Amino acid sequence: MSGPRKDRDHAGKQEADSAPPDDEQRVFLQEREALKALDARLKKAREHESDPFGDRLNPARRPDSAQAMAWRISVEIVVALGVCGFIGWWLDKWFDTKPWLMVVFLLLGFGVGIRNVYRIGRDAMDEGTDGDGRE
Amino acid sequence: MEEHSPLAQFEIKKLIEIPLGGIDASFTNSSLWMMISIILATAFLTLSMRGRAMVPGRWQSMAELVYEFVANMLRDNVGSGGRRYFPFIFTLFVFILFNNSLGMVPYSFTPTSHIIVTFAMAVVVFIGVTIIGFIKNGTGFLKLFVPSGVPWFLLIILVPIEVISYFVRPISLSVRLFANMMAGHTMLKVFGGFVVSLGLLAGWAPLLFIIALTGMEIGIAMLQAYVFTVLSCLYLHDALHPGH
């Protein structure tokens, strides 16, 4: 509050007769400064505008949160192994070829799990390097 | 505490028996809580948007937040042509979100902690995405199983892997949601049991842990609703633009 008044006093001493137009100009300049500051703040706010959930809960904008990523990866490996193991076990019972098909399918399941994790990692890296890395 | 087993909370109870031919189509507590979450979600979205104000109030901005969140997710993950599937993805997200969140209310029931519920949703996504893929790309959809730029002798190994990984999708999708919900609720109950059995002397330690766990569970309820929908979006993306 004391800043502008001091400024005006100072200006009044310097150019006493042309005070009214100078004052007007000063108010104009001050307003323009204020508008500029508002503009900067608006711009800053606009950058975050499409972040409806803020930074913390906004996975749609940025890549997956670490926790979501961890869940995706771990479940991917376990489920691929489990499903392939089950298919092998079931086919073994069907064809009466006990452990062999299950062994083959477990290896295959391991491959599937690794492949899926590799893909998740690749997509995440793409997203990390250039905005939207998806194709 | 009348139920001592931490798994008793997942028990299905028939509320109204409906024998439908040989099929047991009874109205259970699971159906009841799914219905409650549908009614609450509908009420939340319609009532909060009733005003249709230019400057939204609290409720309206909450509804708009959910809408915008899903719309952004769809735009970022599906890309072009994803807009048409917004109603389905939005419904899926809101349904799972409400089911998961209502599960955090004491004495409630969490339908998403049953694998058959999550598996049904995952299968709907899986079949729908497969049909969309074939309609949009014809046999070109099969390119999804043939990674480009790979020598033929590697394709012999990679194609079966890709095919299996495609069919594993609905299972991993449903297991992820169900395991999270079931594990979290079981943990809460187990530690609840510790509080009771340790009593006034040492029960405070697990109680503190439960407080932290409850916060984490609420986070997981939202996170898993998001993960389920975002993966559905990714599968939809694969169906619309196969062959990466």
Q: What is the mean pLDDT of residues A59-72?
A: 64
pLDDT in tens, B126-141: 999 999 999 998 888 8
Say yes or no to pLDDT of B229 above 90. Answer: yes
Judged by CB atoms closer than 8 Å, whether chains meet at B164 and A109 is answered as yes
Judged by CB atoms closer than 8 Å, whether chains meet at A135 and B77 is answered as no
Domain chopping of chain B, boundaries: 9-240
Which pLDDT score is estimated for A21? 63
Per-residue pLDDT band at B76 (split at 50, 70, 90) = confident
Contacts of A53 (CB under 8 A, 6+ apart): A60, B65, B69
Judged by CB atoms closer than 8 Å, whether chains meet at B227 and A72 is answered as yes
| Chain B residues bordering chain A (beta-carbon distance below 8 Å) | 65, 68-70, 72-73, 76-77, 79, 157-158, 160-162, 164-165, 167-168, 171-172, 175-176, 179-180, 222-224, 226-227, 230-231, 237, 241, 244
- Of A10-19, B49-58, B151-160, the one with minimum mean pLDDT is A10-19
Say yes or no to pLDDT of A124 above 60. Answer: yes
Q: How far is CA A81 from the centre of its chain?
A: 31
Q: What distance in Å separates residue A76's CA from the closest CA in chain B?
A: 6
Question: Between residues B240 and A126, which one has the greater pLDDT?
Answer: B240
Would strands B19-20 and B23-24 be described as parallel, antiparallel, or unpaired? antiparallel
Which pLDDT score is estimated for B90? 95
Judged by CB atoms closer than 8 Å, whether chains meet at B172 and A79 is answered as yes
Q: What is the mean pLDDT of residues B214-225?
A: 92
Q: What distance in Å separates residue B232's CA from the closest CA in chain A?
A: 13
Query: SS3 of B20, please?
Result: strand
Count CB-CB contacts under 10 A for residue B13: 10
Q: State the ipTM, two decimals.
A: 0.70
Question: Between residues A126 and A63, which one has the greater pLDDT?
Answer: A126
Question: Between residues B51 and B239, which one has the greater pLDDT?
Answer: B239
Which pLDDT score is estimated for B128? 95
Q: Could you give the percent of chain B with pLDDT greater than 70?
A: 97
Judged by CB atoms closer than 8 Å, whether chains meet at B168 and A112 is answered as yes
Per-residue pLDDT band at A25 (split at 50, 70, 90) = confident
pLDDT in tens, B167-212: 999 999 999 999 999 999 999 999 988 898 888 888 888 999 999 9
Per-residue pLDDT band at B31 (split at 50, 70, 90) = very high
DSSP letter at B24? E
Q: In terms of CA atoms, which chain B residue is nearest residue A86?
A: B168
How far apart CA B34 and CA B40 sit, in angstroms, is 10
- In degrees rounded to 5, what are phi and psi of residue B79? 80, -145
